Structure 1
Amino acid sequence: MISDPLILALVLVGAMVIFLLSGLWIGFSLYAAAIVGMIACKTNLPPTISIWDKIGDLMANSIWNTLNSWPLSALPLFILMGEILYRTSISTRLLNGLVPWLSNIPGRLYHINVVACSLFAAVSGSSAATTATVGKITYNELSSRGYHKSLAIGSLAGSGTLGFLIPPSLIMIIYGILSDTSIGQLFIAGVIPGLSLAAIYSIYIVVRCMMNPSLVPAQKESFSMKQRMDSLKDLFPVLLLIVIVLGGIYAGLTTPTEAAVIGVLGALAIAAWFKNLTMSNFKEALLSAVKTSGMICFIIAGAAFLSQIVGFLGIATALSEYIAELNLSPYMLILVLGLMYVMLGMILDGISIVVMTLPIVLPIIVAAGFDPLWFGIFVVFMVELSQVTPPVGFSIFVIQYITNDDVRDILKATFPFFLIMVFMVMLVTIFPEIVFYLPQKMVTM
């Protein structure tokens, strides 16, 4: 049997890769890899204790402690809120309300992808839902008006990833639970990086269209101030919902879970106000939310079990000591981890990346002196990158479904926005104050 923790770490990683490549569900792969690790280290147990009894005790303990969590209840509620908005025409009204306000900006309606994704991200928490909802409406609209297809696709792919960065974010909730970091603080910390990324996207669109005016149709639409003011009736309900949900968290009036409840009630109220709420689409929203929540919670429970096994076998401590002995500078450590996450993003989805790596990576990061709050935002950026990296970039699949374009063309269109995300990661690494400014401001208020 194996007693070296570093070799055990390689055994765990190898087991996970084999199980994933075999087509086993991600949650089962996490459980199976943890069990393989325990069996490989069987000699470390006292002879009076059965290996299967110990595995059963650890599994039951980790599943109960992880899922019996009040903060975790925010997850299915935010998912339900996004599903309600997605399955009603609220998103269409949101986009129609933005058109009059964006028509005079250089790049014009390309910005609708950035702004609409930013707003929808603030009420959905999901990158896939944001990309699909906005893309189904904006792509056909931009194509019919003569906008360049490549820039339309690229701006949609890049902006769609904001669903994970602009709170409420499902990835932030998962990270907060697994790392024991305040979900509210993560939400607050993600605001400036998320809005900054959206702003850089828009700046890129402006510069690109000024350098190449042919990207924008020659015929320009004009709207009167009255038309702009009338469009606010479509924008106001969603903006109000965002302010209520996130404002309560930032002001310290509500927990993320309480804000999620308010968000669901607000989404139902808006859908009813616009007369878009039917029993049929409400059932569809409930069923989809249950399926998604069950899948994510199963993965979270598997990750918690793997994390407990990693600690029990001494792998986290051994890896931390090994990294410390390498004497890597903090920036070099982040560079190595960043490259690792990009490579993982080529074969895994975002949630899987977080739950599979966090039990091993977080102790190393903490030992190196990084704040778990900052690292949470860094991980979210890495997950965003995984959404647009082949061959498993989920946003790429969503856009291909919407546009029926070749994957290579979509990747080519997305690449500039991928580079912008990498640039933003460099900014928050060199200037961590971008992440800490709002949380520190809220504490001192």
Structure 2
Amino acid sequence: MCRPETVLRAARPLPEVGGMHQETLTAHQSRMWEAERVVRGYPVLHTGIALRVRGDVDPDRLSRAVERAFARHEVLRTGFRAEGETLHTGPAPHHRVRVLRHPELSFADADLPALRQRVEELSGEVFPFTGEAPARARLLLMADGQALLLLYFHRLVMDLYSLHQVVADIAEAWRTERPLPPARRYSELVGMRVRRRADDLEFWRAELSACPTVRLGDARPEDDWTPRGAEVRRTLDAGFAATVRAHARAARCTPVVRIIAAAAGTALALSGARDLVVATMAAHRMDSDAVGPLAQALLIRVGAAAPHGADGVLAQVRRGLREGMAHQGVEFEEIAAMLAAEMGVGRDRVAPLTVGVSPRSHTVSAGSLSLTEFDPYPDDAQILVGCGQLDVDVRLDDEEPCLLVQYDRESYSPEWCEAFTDALLRELRQPPAGRP
């Protein structure tokens, strides 16, 4: 994605009445605002979820639950107002859930294409940045009393882990109808990072010195982000999750550590690289119910040329996760900027391998209300993968567990990715070679 020539800055916020006390945007928010200015008018920076509501639907009660959940979190009651290239923060108007009646729609197979189209239309409504919070909720009332709750946000205020918390808050607010306790202020958590920044930046500077720029694939694409994604999917048998957990216990580590180490070791073996920087999403927030773009790609360096290279990949991943979580005063965007300025490493080459372990599906039962994830996109939707990135997602807790490898077809050949996927599955089914 091209970067605008003008300099991005965040202005002093408007007088605060329940909004954030932030003198500047975080590094992540600055990057999102910069990207928004490039793609203005298109919803490519939106994130959210469509929730099927089962049971008796009381629109007023559900609307109140959503409003209380949104009001609980500082970042969801903060408005963003654009003045040219500058973004101001301040108090946001009170959020109201918009109720839309669609008696012509249902969850019947014949109606799903029309329902998907309506959801895409709604989630594609751009945020004008005129002082409102970039967070919306739409309740679609359909035939036979069925309903769908659509939540969508700009990535200025939301990440995947925050989305989980908002869904849980809505379920709690529906069940109790009592005021929810205030959550930790987003700006306080950002302030904690700022105070730790200098020491943590020095840790990452040492950890990533002489950062490798290995390409795992067999092509070198241009440095931009384009929709050239492809995927390899493997359905996992019912006992796969139990096997991974048993091997993790034997190695005295968590399943996440085991999966990351297996993926990193497989990539090292197939690529012949001596050193590799792996990225994994970390939900270490210093407060479990915080909402805001706080989750980030945590970097783990592994391989013979990495620090502590004699430890082995499994031990390196354990150490990397532990020490990385202890030094999260620096955002991923700041680490990438440091590498670019000091070591000449392009952002898309920082971590060619990304590994994630999906949490349990967004399913929350609360009284007569059940919120269940609904996929608004057709099965053949185009995958978006950043250039040079191999993205591994292990879904252990879904109804149909699977291993999903997404890749840029101009960076990797299908044959290489098929071989990587099969080798990773073999590795995960075998006990680890040794304990850390």
TM-score, length of structure 2 as denominator length: 0.28
Which has more strand, going by share of residues? Answer: 2
TM-score by length of 1: 0.28
Structure number with higher relative contact order (C-alpha < 8 Å, ≥ 6 residues apart): 1
Higher helix share: 1
